[in-house]
A = this chain, B = another copy of it.
Amino acid sequence: MTSEAEPREKLRAAGFRVTRTRLIIGHRLWNGPDSRHVDVAALHTDIQASGEKVSLATIYNTLRDFERAGLIRRIAVASDRIWYDTDTGNHHHFHDMSENRLFDVPGASCEPHSLPEPPDGYRITKVDTLFHLEKVR
């Protein structure tokens, strides 16, 4: 479903130059499971663990750029970190705050919301639905 070439194409299609750094990041975003949830620190750790090297600031900047280009999506979470999702469509999330983990509500059961009427002069660009989890017992 994913291929080595995909990040390259995605970058080019979005008008980005294909650079070492963007490939390293794009690789981790798009060559894994279909939907991947990342925060900057974890991605940085990940990259370092694999022996590659990208500065933390650059990861912040690159993910911000990717988001602006619509390649990834920022998720609304009550957390001290920014979370991104590689799935840019509207879908629901579970959030386990105690472990700072975020994952999709499984099943294709994410029926599209019946959107409310936006205030005058505005339009709705995306919807975040977040279910907060707590460990039982």
Within 8 A of B (CB), among A101-120: 105-107, 109, 113, 115-116, 118-119
How far is it, in angstroms, between the C-alpha of A121 and the C-alpha of B123 when the chains are bound?
Answer: 39
Chain B residues near A128 (CB-CB < 8 A): 76, 78, 128-130, 132
Contact of A96 among B95, B96, B122 (CB under 8 A): B122
Interface of A is mostly: strand
Structural contact, B131 and A118, CB atoms closer than 8 A: yes
Chain B residues near A124 (CB-CB < 8 A): 131-133
The range of chain A's interface size is 35 or more
Closest to A123 in B: B136
Contact of A122 among B106, B130, B134 (CB under 8 A): B134
